[in-house]
Amino acid sequence: MGSPPPSAAARLDEGARVFSATCSGCHTLAPGPSPQLTGGGLRDYRLTPGQVAGFVKVMPLPRRLSAREVEAVSSYVAHVERGP
Ligand code: HEC
């Protein structure tokens, strides 16, 4: 059984929430440099979701993310970086 996989749109939505709750203290997805944030802007990269996930695993996060949250936030960041 188990619930069906979330749709792509729902996953991006969840990723956006995870990003603002967990990453936005150190990163922004707004274009351009963000010298006031420790981790800076992520918008000007072109990372794949897998590459983002690799970084997420080594970030000093305020709380542990579930595998599903890591996947959601990684898809979201890669999606925003690539543009609509
Ligand atoms: C406590 C601060 C902090 C938090 C929270 C944090 N990061 Fe980072 N992150 C950093 C720092 C510092 C770097 C290294 C920046 C550098 O050297 O350019 C980094 C690097 C990265 C990189 C590689 C690109 C780069 O600039 O080097 C990605 C991708 C990334 N973080 C994604 C995330 C995501 C997604 C989250 C939330 C799940 C997150 N980070 C949470 C501090 C943080």
| Residue 61 Cα to ligand 1 middle (Å) | 9
Residue 74 near residue 42 (C-beta atoms within 8 A) = no
pLDDT of residue 59: 97
Express each pLDDT in 67-84 by its tens digit: 999 999 999 999 999 986
On whether residue 55 sits in a domain, the answer given is: yes
Mean pLDDT of 26-50: 93
Tell me the average pLDDT of the chain.
Answer: 93
Q: Is the CB of 72 under 6 A from ligand 1?
A: no
On whether residue 1 sits in a domain, the answer given is: no
The whole-angstrom separation of Cα 80 and Cα 2 is: 29
Mean pLDDT of 18-31: 96
On whether residue 41 sits in a domain, the answer given is: yes
On whether residue 16 sits in a domain, the answer given is: yes
Residues 20-54, buried b or exposed e (16+ Cβ, 10 A)? Answer: eebbeebbbbeeeebeebeeebbbeeebebeebbe
Percent of the chain at pLDDT exceeding 90: 81
| Residue 84 Cα to ligand 1 middle (Å) | 22
Domain total of the chain: 1
On whether residue 22 sits in a domain, the answer given is: yes
- For residue 54, the enclosing domain spans 6-82
Query: Encoding tokens for residue 42?
Result: 């992520």
Mean pLDDT of 53-60: 97
Q: Is the CB of 25 under 6 A from ligand 1?
A: yes
Q: Report the CATH number at residue 66.
A: 1.10.760
